């Protein structure tokens, strides 16, 4: 069993400091100027102050309205009405150039309203960034594209350095945590397809704190390795608003370290585990360890 803490008070390792810096305000102005969304804002990421303070962000393309409604996610959900901003890839690239980024993370809402799930916009965004410099590393954190081989191939063929898709939680809790259209085995299939289509590095992420058992987490890690996943992130779930799933437990740093060690024993090339870890957490720093 994981270490369960009182729900009345977060342990020290689950608290995040709010720190507004000049670089934070610079990022805020830049994103407004280019009319860009970030998962940092829309998903209420607690790491926003640290990342924006380093002039990095996870760009969220394809709008800010998701066609799915996962119980842990604060991104707005609804019907985007098939609207696509085809100028967005260029604006992302312009922002990347202005920031001088060498490692870029691109994610999106789910767009089940689009025939290709938005894969063509992902591909165009990758190409626009690579026009700046082929040496810029691009990590894409993608939806499942309804398991479309064609959509996934569109993204992989554009040449991202890392293809990431989060499995989010253990199999038993998937129907509770994720949208009904998502699925544990569907995510495994997407990750395997990406590898089979030629993705250089595949990556996935797990959140803890929904009531999963330690053995279930290890089994999820084994399943991810069976489909060739190279990089794994494991972090603590934090309730973004009162209308989202409550935190069942806070997992101790020692347990995260134990899972990290098990991950390396299972053969992952890189395992980033800790209470503050999110799927894009310090990707530019950790990515250098992969020798992309």
Distance CA 153, CA 168 (A): 23
The pLDDT score that the predictor gives to residue 39 is 86
Question: For residue 59, how many C-alpha atoms fall within 13 Å in the half-sphere facing its CB?
Answer: 32
- Tokens coding 113: 């309203």
Which residue segments constitute the domains of the chain, with CATH numbers given?
A: 14-290 (3.20.20.70)
The pLDDT score that the predictor gives to residue 292 is 56
Contact 81/50 with Cβ under 8 angstroms?
Answer: no
Residue in this structure with the two tokens 């992969």, named with its chain if needed: 290
DSSP notation for the chain = -PPP--TTS--GGG-------HHHHHHHHHHHHTT-EEHHHHTT-TTHHHHHTTT--EEEES-S-BS---TT--S-BS--TT---TTHHHHHHHHHHHHT-SEEEEEE---TTSTTTTHHHHHHHHHHHHHH-TTSEEEEE---GGG-HHHHHHHHHT--SEEE---BS-TTTHHHHS-TT--HHHHHHHHHHHHHTT-SEEEEEEEE-SS--HHHHHHHHHHHHHTT--EEEEEE---SSTTSPPP-----HHHHHHHHHHHHHHT-SEEEESTT--TTTTHHHHGGGGT-
Residue 35's Cα: distance from chain center in Å?
Answer: 21
Residues 6 or more apart in contact with residue 176 via CB below 8 angstroms? 71, 210, 245
Beta strand 103-108 pairing with 137-141: parallel
Contact 132/247 with Cβ under 8 angstroms?
Answer: no
Per-residue model confidence as pLDDT tens digits over 143-198: 999 999 999 999 999 999 999 999 999 999 999 999 999 999 999 999 999 999 99
The pLDDT score that the predictor gives to residue 184 is 98
- Residue ranges in the chain modelled with pLDDT below 70: 1-9, 14, 16, 287-289, 291-292
């Amino acid at each position: 069993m994981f270490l369960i803490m009182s729900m009345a008070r977060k342990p020290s390792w689950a608290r995040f400091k709010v720190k507004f810096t000049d670089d934070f305000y610079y990022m805020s102005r830049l994103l407004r100027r280019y009319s860009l969304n970030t998962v940092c804002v829309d998903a209420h990421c607690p790491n926003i102050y640290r990342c924006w303070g380093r002039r990095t962000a996870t760009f969220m393309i394809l709008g800010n309205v998701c066609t799915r409604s996962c119980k842990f996610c604060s991104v707005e959900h609804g019907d985007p009405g098939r609207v696509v901003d085809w100028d967005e890839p260029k604006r992302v690239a312009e922002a990347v150039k202005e920031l001088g980024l060498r490692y870029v993370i691109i994610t999106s809402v789910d767009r089940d309203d689009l025939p290709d799930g938005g894969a063509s916009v992902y591909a165009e965004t990758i190409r626009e960034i690579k026009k700046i410099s082929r040496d810029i590393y691009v990590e894409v954190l993608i939806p499942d594209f309804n398991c479309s081989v064609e959509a996934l191939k569109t993204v992989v063929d554009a040449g991202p350095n890392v293809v990431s898709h989060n499995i989010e939680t253990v199999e038993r809790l998937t129907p509770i945590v994720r949208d009904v259209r998502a699925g544990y085995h569907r995510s495994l299939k997407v990750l395997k397809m990406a590898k089979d289509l030629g993705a250089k590095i595949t990556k996935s992420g797990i959140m803890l704190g929904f009531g999963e058992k330690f053995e279930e987490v290890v089994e999820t890690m084994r399943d991810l390795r069976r489909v060739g996943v190279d990089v794994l992130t494991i972090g603590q779930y934090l309730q973004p608003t009162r209308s989202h799933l409550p935190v069942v437990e806070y997992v101790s740093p020692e347990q995260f370290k134990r899972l990290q060690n098990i991950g390396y024993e299972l053969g992952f090339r890189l395992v980033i585990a800790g209470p503050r870890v999110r799927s894009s957490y310090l990707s530019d720093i950790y990515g250098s360890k992969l020798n992309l």
